Amino acid sequence: MAQIKAPRGTQDLLPADSYKWKYVESTLMAIGESFGFKELRTPVFESTDLFERGVGDTTDVVQKEMYTFEDKGGRSITLRPEGTAGAVRAAVEHGLLNDALPLKLSYLTSCYRYEKPQAGRLREFHQFGVECLGTASPMADAQLILFASRIFDAFGVEGISLEINSIGCPKCRAEYHKALKAYFEAHIDSLCDTCKGRLEKNPMRILDCKNPECKKIAHGAPVILDYLCEDCKDHFEKVKDYLDIADIPYKINPRIVRGLDYYTKTVFEFVSDAIGAQGTVLGGGRYDGLVEELGGKSVPALGFAMGLERLMLLLEAGKFAFPAAATPDIYFCSIGENALKVALTLADELTADGFHAEIDILGRSLKAQMKYANKIGAKYTAVIGDDDIENGVLNIKNMETGETIQSDFLGFADTFENEYLAYIEKKEFSNYTDFGVEEDG
Ligand code: HAM
């Protein structure tokens, strides 16, 4: 029968890599917690209206990239293309904004966009995102950017640059839209059909169209920074001031408009040139109108999301030293049926105590079991034969040192635990002293 392949633009995460992802994800969530963000989980699919209203019906994401379908009940459903709209919907729906503010939410989610796949651009991808709702202070913008930058520090990422911009508020945008319209009208014949449609409704969206001809024209367009109202200007100045105080280097890039409609005032991106054309690893900004747009009160908010596939590419490019994958604590080699039954019981006792214990479930020879135990990196082995069962005593071998200790069957779990903890402690101590010697030398 013909083999079935994973859909284009999706990736399987195999065991050889999944432990790295687990490490990265738990590190990200822990950094989030240290900044006060708590995890939120929302459904992978939402009502299509949520994204049409939240992300904006003139964006590339909504117009061209959404996975939308009718369910069996005739509802229009969309796989989430991003995490912010769902997070805001959940916050409004569950009255989370009635509690003490700011509300700080974090998430790890899969997202779906029908884009042309290439390195760092997938149709199913993953984001670590955070949303902070209930604050209009520019200090919140600066601290959020600082948080993002601390993530890269935590992974020792070098050569990543922070680009910031302000895209104003609906007040200053009215003037800007007029200027943009005038500019693009002069080039209307060269715009793609989607952008011709955007000219009336939302000319800012032409600025991030991926069509090469539109891109070329957009390059000469007026920039929003020249049109900011006093309030937006003041906000942006303060964000920059706080970033300077926090010693976070940034570049002002007046061409950043972001691809989603909800943004107001500060927007930012962390960009790397180490991972090819899709260099934006993290993007975010303020979205002061979104909560109200989605049926909540008028609550200012901001957030960011980081593409995990892009972060992994960056870590691989920088030869990041991931902690080693976990290996079994003990492998029970058994000779014969009776021994295998004993192995089953002992391993069960140890796994109940939180150890990773394995037994032979393939019916291999003793030699092959030993070879396998070595291959999977078991820290200890115990060989069980008929004699051992008769004597009621087992040898436990430390595979690194070759040392062996004895245990009776009844006290096996306790003996193993004591031996294991003593060994780990000794190892940690010797790592510590080795480190000291290296430092001194
Ligand atoms: P975004 O810029 O659309 O923003 O996506 C955030 C990040 O997700 C990007 O910087 C990139 O790393 C990753 N990403 C986006 N599309 C793809 C793709 N097709 N394949 C792989 N990675 C991708 C948002 O989604 C906003 N919700 C961020 C935000 C949160 N703003 C405020 N709060």
- The CATH number linked to 94 is 3.30.930.10
Q: Are residues 141 and 26 in the same domain?
A: yes
Q: Are residues 298 and 349 in the same domain?
A: no
Q: Name all residues whose Cβ lies below 6 A of ligand 1.
A: 82-84, 113, 115, 120-122, 125, 127, 129, 131, 259-260, 280-285, 303-307, 309-310
Q: Are residues 285 and 414 in the same domain?
A: no
Q: Are residues 416 and 272 in the same domain?
A: no
Q: Quick check: 281 and 310 in contact, CB under 8 A?
A: yes
Residue 439: the pLDDT is 42
pLDDT at position 277 over 60: yes
Q: Does any domain span residue 171?
A: no
Q: Does any domain span residue 256?
A: no
pLDDT band at residue 432 under the 50/70/90 scheme = low
Q: What is the average pLDDT score of the chain? A: 95
Domain enclosing residue 38, as ranges = 15-158+265-317
Q: Does any domain span residue 111?
A: yes
Q: Are residues 117 and 24 in the same domain?
A: yes
Q: Does any domain span residue 153?
A: yes
Q: Which atom of ligand 1 is nearest to the CA of 284?
A: 31
Residue 244's nearest CA partner among 145, 114, 365, 384 is 145
Q: Does any domain span residue 366?
A: yes
HEC string of the chain equals CCCCCCCCCCCCCCHHHHHHHHHHHHHHHHHHHHCCCEECCCCCEEEHHHHHHHHHCCCHHHHHHCCEEECCCCCEEEECCCCHHHHHHHHHHCCHHHCCCCEEEEEEEEEECCCCCECCECCEEEEEEEEEECCCCHHHHHHHHHHHHHHHHHCCCCCEEEEEEECCCHHHHHHHHHHHHHHHHCCHHHCCHHHHHHHHHCHHHHHHCCCHHHHHHHCCCCCHHHHCCHHHHHHHHHHHHHHHHCCCCCEECCCCCCCCCCCEEEEEEEEECCCCCCCEEEEEEECCCHHHHCCCCCCCEEEEEEEHHHHHHHHHHCCCCCCCCCCCCEEEEECCHHHHHHHHHHHHHHHHCCCCEEECCCCCCHHHHHHHHHHCCCCEEEEECHHHHHHCEEEEEECCCCCEEEEECCCHHHHHHHHHHHHHHHHHHHHHHHHHHHHHC
Residue 354: the pLDDT is 96
pLDDT band at residue 434 under the 50/70/90 scheme = low
pLDDT band at residue 208 under the 50/70/90 scheme = confident
Tens digit of pLDDT for each residue in 80-96? 999 999 999 999 999 99
Q: Are residues 108 and 73 in the same domain?
A: yes
| In the chain, % of residues over pLDDT 90 | 93
Q: Are residues 63 and 147 in the same domain?
A: yes
Q: Are residues 283 and 418 in the same domain?
A: no
Residue 103: the pLDDT is 98
Tens digit of pLDDT for each residue in 258-276? 999 999 999 999 999 999 9
Q: Which atom of ligand 1 is nearest to the CA of 117?
A: 19
Q: Does any domain span residue 24?
A: yes
Residue 84: the pLDDT is 98
Closest residue CA from atom 2 of ligand 1: 283
Residue 433: the pLDDT is 61
pLDDT band at residue 440 under the 50/70/90 scheme = very low
- The CATH number linked to 339 is 3.40.50.800
Q: Are residues 150 and 297 in the same domain?
A: yes
Tens digit of pLDDT for each residue in 374-422? 999 999 999 999 999 999 999 999 999 999 999 998 899 999 999 999 9
Tens digit of pLDDT for each residue in 8-42? 999 999 999 999 999 999 999 999 999 999 999 99
pLDDT at position 310 over 60: yes
How much distance in Å is there from the Cα of 165 to the middle of ligand 1?
A: 17
Q: Does any domain span residue 222?
A: no
pLDDT at position 438 over 80: no
pLDDT at position 437 over 70: no
pLDDT at position 252 over 70: yes
Whole-Å CA distances, 148 to 104, 186, 321, 438: 14, 40, 21, 33
Closest residue CA from atom 23 of ligand 1: 307
Query: 């490490």: which residue's tokens?
Result: 23
Residue 209's nearest CA partner among 168, 169, 253, 255 is 255
pLDDT at position 243 over 90: yes
pLDDT band at residue 210 under the 50/70/90 scheme = confident
Tens digit of pLDDT for each residue in 92-148? 999 999 999 999 999 999 999 999 999 999 999 999 999 999 999 999 999 999 999
What's the mean pLDDT in 348-369? 97
Q: Does any domain span residue 233?
A: no
Tens digit of pLDDT for each residue in 136-190? 999 999 999 999 999 999 999 999 999 999 999 999 999 999 999 999 999 999 9
Q: Are residues 21 and 151 in the same domain?
A: yes
Q: pTM above 0.85?
A: yes
Q: Are residues 280 and 136 in the same domain?
A: yes
Pocket test for ligand 1, best of 112, 258, 280 (most atoms within 8 A of CB): 280
Number of domains in the chain: 2
Q: Are residues 143 and 271 in the same domain?
A: yes
Residue 99: the pLDDT is 95
Residue 436: the pLDDT is 46
What's the mean pLDDT in 288-292? 98
